């Protein structure tokens, strides 16, 4: 294959809240390289996760399928591994079969097996056996780069040396960055490549996870506090959330006082800065190697994080801080005059895979449920014909997570629902409104927000008679989109 197809680099951080960078309005986070990528590319202001928690979100972006469809998640009944045949319909596998050199670096976050099996987090994983035919270059693990780390090609000593135990002046983000540059340096000429890089940052904030030399600039910095940050408990949350969701008690432990909030966010900012440095090194390497003008770079995260907003920590729930995504697309093939703009089209994380394939010149398989937004990027898409809503779902229950290895998980799940402890939800975000329904609760709990007037989601309009018609309309639209996601 002649080098006519573009190179594609998909950069994903872990748990990075959408507004924790300069280009999204928070300059105190100090992300100059990401900001420059946004300035020279396309930055999306209304991108959303179809599901906002690590494992299912990653599967959704690779396969272009909704969580309810692929059924890969942390808890029953969506607690399956991804089958090898389904993985063959992911964007890396399709590009590999089309002649691309493929690579993966960092946190893989889900398990591929011959057939779908339960639970989705088996004790033993064999990355090489089930993915060796998809990735030419692999340096990754499930959650940490110091545990169960797998590397191939086995004979690439420089790659192995990056992860050698006891290395000084190292850190997980720097190691990921070095492996990323190693992939670029070993890339054969005249062959396109697709490299997926999944940073372990910005998740976790222990000293071993934070590159402490980068922490100095943030150590005394006063970080801005969101207007919907809540000290202590938030009595406005639905009772089923207050009483059962993990984010409630984690907030008490980690972000419920000004002191805890500042400590936490400074460490997230440090990790974001460490990632930003790697983005800068990547751009420089591509330019030096003469690759930048034929490379597309996509930057996003796997889910957001509340950081005390709404009196919550964690993610999953369908409020903006959790489900809104940072999304930047830079295309080195495109003249600067045709990039460098902000875009307000509604984008879903389920769109990633079909769009990546389209940018490479290939058609998405029928299994992919997302839409190709390459026409948004090059402004050929008729915006009046683009979608008017994105579908989102949260299928995670912490009590089910605690029981994930039990044989009777389906019975445990049924009892949780019967006892009215389920806070599973789905909903949609339209041009103006957000609708959420906790559909396993009896009676169902609904939330409706006017994001145009209430972007921080402080005023639930579900019981406001002035919005009854909107409520009925969005209720039905959500159910329709849910049924479509299942099939």
Is residue 264 domain-shared with residue 404, that is, in the same domain? no
Last residue of a domain, one of 327, 346, 381: 381
Is residue 416 domain-shared with residue 315, that is, in the same domain? no
Is residue 46 domain-shared with residue 192, that is, in the same domain? yes
Last residue of a domain, one of 333, 348, 381: 381
Question: What's the pLDDT tens digit per position in 73-98?
Answer: 999 999 999 999 999 999 999 999 99
DSSP 217: G
Q: How confident is the model at residue 166 (pLDDT cuts 50, 70, 90)?
A: confident
Mean pLDDT for 218-229 is 97
Pairing, β 425-430 against β 433-438: antiparallel
* Per-residue pLDDT at 144: 82
* pLDDT, mean over the chain: 96
Question: What's the pLDDT tens digit per position in 242-276?
Answer: 999 999 999 999 999 999 999 999 999 999 999 99
Last residue of a domain, one of 330, 356, 381: 381
Mean pLDDT for 427-449 is 98
* Per-residue pLDDT at 172: 94
Mean pLDDT for 410-433 is 98
- Which letter, b or e, does each residue of 416-431 get, where b requires 16 or more Cβ atoms within 10 Å of its Cβ? beeebbbbbbbbbbbe
* Per-residue pLDDT at 3: 64
**Residue 411 structural domain:** 391-486
Q: How confident is the model at residue 115 (pLDDT cuts 50, 70, 90)?
A: very high
Is residue 402 domain-shared with residue 253, that is, in the same domain? no
Mean pLDDT for 303-322 is 98
Number of domains making up the chain: 2
Q: What is the pTM of this model?
A: 0.97
Is residue 357 domain-shared with residue 474, that is, in the same domain? no
3-state helix/strand/coil string of 404-440: CCCCCHHHHHHHHHHCCCCCCEEEEEECCEEEEEECC
Res 215 pLDDT > 80: yes
* Per-residue pLDDT at 4: 84
16, 128, 273 from 13: Cα distances, Å: 6, 23, 12
Is residue 312 domain-shared with residue 432, that is, in the same domain? no
Res 2 pLDDT > 60: no
Q: Let me know if residue 2 belongs to a domain.
A: no
Q: 148 or 239: whose pLDDT is higher? A: 239
Is residue 374 domain-shared with residue 430, that is, in the same domain? no
Is residue 360 domain-shared with residue 436, that is, in the same domain? no
Q: Which of 3-17, 70-84, 158-172, 323-337 has the lowest average pLDDT?
A: 158-172
* Per-residue pLDDT at 1: 43
Mean pLDDT for 467-486 is 98
203, 420, 438 from 443: Cα distances, Å: 35, 9, 9
């Amino acid at each position: 294959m002649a080098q006519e197809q573009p190179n594609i680099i998909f950069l994903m951080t872990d748990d990075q809240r959408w507004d924790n960078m300069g280009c999204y309005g928070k300059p105190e986070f100090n992300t100059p390289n990401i900001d420059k990528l946004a300035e020279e590319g396309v930055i999306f202001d209304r991108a959303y996760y179809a599901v906002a928690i690590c494992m299912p979100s990653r599967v959704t972006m690779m396969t272009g399928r909704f969580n309810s469809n692929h059924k890969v998640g942390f808890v029953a009944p969506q607690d399956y591994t991804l089958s090898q045949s389904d993985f063959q319909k992911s964007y890396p596998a399709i590009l590999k079969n089309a002649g691309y050199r493929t690579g993966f670096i960092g946190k893989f976050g889900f398990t591929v097996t011959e057939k779908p099996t339960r639970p989705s987090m088996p004790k033993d994983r064999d990355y090489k056996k089930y993915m060796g035919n998809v990735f030419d270059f692999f340096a990754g693990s499930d959650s940490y780069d110091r545990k169960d780390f797998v590397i191939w090609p086995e004979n690439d000593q420089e790659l192995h040396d990056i992860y050698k135990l006891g290395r000084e002046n190292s850190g997980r983000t720097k190691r990921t960055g070095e492996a990323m540059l190693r992939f670029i340096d070993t890339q054969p000429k005249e062959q396109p490549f697709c490299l997926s890089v999944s940073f372990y940052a910005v998740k976790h904030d222990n000293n071993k996870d934070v590159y402490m030399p980068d922490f100095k600039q943030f150590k005394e910095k006063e970080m801005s506090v969101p207007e919907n940050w809540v000290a202590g408990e938030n009595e406005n949350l639905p009772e089923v959330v207050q009483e059962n969701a993990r984010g409630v008690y984690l907030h008490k432990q980690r972000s419920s006082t000004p002191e805890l909030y500042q400590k936490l966010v400074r460490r997230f900012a440090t990790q974001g800065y460490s990632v930003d440095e790697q983005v800068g090194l990547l751009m420089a390497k591509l330019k030096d190697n003469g690759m930048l003008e034929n490379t597309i770079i996509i930057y996003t995260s796997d889910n957001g994080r509340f950081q005390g907003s709404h009196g919550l920590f964690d993610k999953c729930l369908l409020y903006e801080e959790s489900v809104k995504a940072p999304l930047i697309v830079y295309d080195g093939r495109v003249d600067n005059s045709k990039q460098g703009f902000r875009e307000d089209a509604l984008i879903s994380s389920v769109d990633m895979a079909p769009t990546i394939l389209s940018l490479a010149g290939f058609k998405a398989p029928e299994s992919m449920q997302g839409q190709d937004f390459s026409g948004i990027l090059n402004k050929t898409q008729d915006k009046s014909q683009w979608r008017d809503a994105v579908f989102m779902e949260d299928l995670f229950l912490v009590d089910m997570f605690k029981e994930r290895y039990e044989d009777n998980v389906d019975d445990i799940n049924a009892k949780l629902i019967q006892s009215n402890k389920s806070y599973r939800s789905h909903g949609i975000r339209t041009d103006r409104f957000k609708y959420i329904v906790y559909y396993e609760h009896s009676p169902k709990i609904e939330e409706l927000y006017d994001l145009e007037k209430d972007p921080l989601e402080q005023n639930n309009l579900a019981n406001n008679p002035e919005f009854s018609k909107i409520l009925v309309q969005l209720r039905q639209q959500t159910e329709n989109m849910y049924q479509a996601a299942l099939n």
